[in-house]
Structures are given as structure tokens and as C-alpha cells.
């Protein structure tokens, strides 16, 4: 469930910020009488269904860092290899093997759910010349779906809980 939360949170959390909420859906004052400043990107504590005003608990300053924290957690850079990875699911055990010119990481999640992974790379630094020539090996028979090959970019969806290794296919 945590992997699915991380996957959808960046889209959903946006709508806890008053500037992105529907006009008239946030209370001008919270239940303690303090004003909500609807121009600020400070999330409201309570988001309601539209029948009741949101923000009656108030705006919560501790939530302001959530967008930056979520965005930072989605991107991983391996500077020496010229690789940037975006993943909807959290990544662990991220490594680059310079000798094999291979990338390996583990996607947190469950095998019944898939998350999008985008890998942008420098052909000069990685030695990967075409995304179409890259092989994706997934542990435990996990499947990789919706693969797209673009210049210096590989995009696919992979099952949660799998360890993935990406490297140039042997010729």
C-alpha cells in the first residue's frame, strides 16, 4: 500500500493546496477562528467531499514540504554514469556497474501492481547507444510492460517487488 500511496500522492496532494482547490470550497476561517490564507501553497488539514467546506481544521505548515519531498523521492541521479531515473514507486538498492555498463535497482511494491519507470541516459557515459538495444531483466519472473524506446530514454512499467537490471543486449 505504501508504494501505491507514493505513486498517487503527487497528483492527489496537489488538491490539498488552496490555490488548486475549487473556488468557494475552502473556509475563510478555521474552526478556531484563525484565517486561512487561500493564496498560500500551504495545505489544508481536512479535505471534504464538497458538501462541507474544507479547511475548517485549518492550514498546516508542516505539510508545505510534502511536494518537494515527494518530487525529490521520485528522481534518482547517478552523476558519474549520466543516468537519471524517475519512478512512481520508491527505489532501493540502486547501483551502477561501470565494468558491465549495467544499472540495477529494486522497486518497492507488490507484484500485482505496476509502476512507471523512466530512465534518461547519456550514450557517451553509459555506453548505451540505443534504448531498443537495452535488455531489462526482472527478478522472480516479474513482467515488464508498455515498453517505449526513445533516443537516450527508456520507459516501461514494472511489477512492484522486483529487482531490475538494465544493460546493453549481447550481440
Q: What pLDDT digit, counting tens, does each position of 131-155 carry? A: 999 999 998 667 888 999 999 999 9
**Every domain of the chain and the residues it spans:** 1-64, 74-168
- The mean pLDDT value of the chain amounts to 88
Q: What pLDDT digit, counting tens, does each position of 52-81 carry? A: 999 999 888 777 777 677 667 778 999 889
The closest alpha carbon to 148, from 120, 124, 125, belongs to: 120
Class of domain 74-168: mainly beta
Predicted model pTM: 0.72
Beta-carbon contacts of residue 125 (< 8 Å; ≥ 6 apart): 80, 81, 82, 83
Please report where in the chains the cell 490564507 appears, as a residue. 37
Strands across the sheet containing 91-97: 91-97, 102-107, 163-168, 134-138
**Cβ neighbours of 163 (radius 10 Å):** 16
Amino acid at each position: 500500500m505504501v508504494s501505491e500511496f507514493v505513486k498517487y500522492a503527487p497528483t492527489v496532494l496537489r488538491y490539498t493546496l488552496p490555490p488548486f482547490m475549487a473556488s468557494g470550497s475552502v473556509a475563510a476561517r478555521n474552526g478556531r477562528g484563525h484565517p486561512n490564507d487561500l493564496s498560500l501553497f500551504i495545505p489544508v488539514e481536512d479535505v471534504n467531499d464538497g458538501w462541507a467546506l474544507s479547511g475548517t481544521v485549518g492550514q498546516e505548515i508542516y505539510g508545505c514540504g510534502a511536494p518537494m519531498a515527494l518530487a525529490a523521492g521520485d528522481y534518482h541521479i547517478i552523476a558519474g554514469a549520466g543516468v537519471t531515473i524517475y519512478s512512481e514507486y520508491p527505489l532501493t538498492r540502486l547501483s551502477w556497474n561501470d565494468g558491465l555498463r549495467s544499472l540495477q535497482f529494486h522497486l518497492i511494491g507488490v507484484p500485482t501492481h505496476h509502476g512507471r519507470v523512466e530512465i534518461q541516459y547519456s550514450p557517451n557515459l553509459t555506453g548505451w547507444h540505443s534504448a531498443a538495444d537495452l535488455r531489462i531483466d526482472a527478478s522472480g519472473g516479474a513482467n515488464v510492460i508498455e515498453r517505449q524506446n526513445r533516443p537516450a530514454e527508456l520507459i516501461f512499467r514494472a511489477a512492484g517487488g522486483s529487482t531490475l537490471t538494465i544493460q546493453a543486449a549481447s550481440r
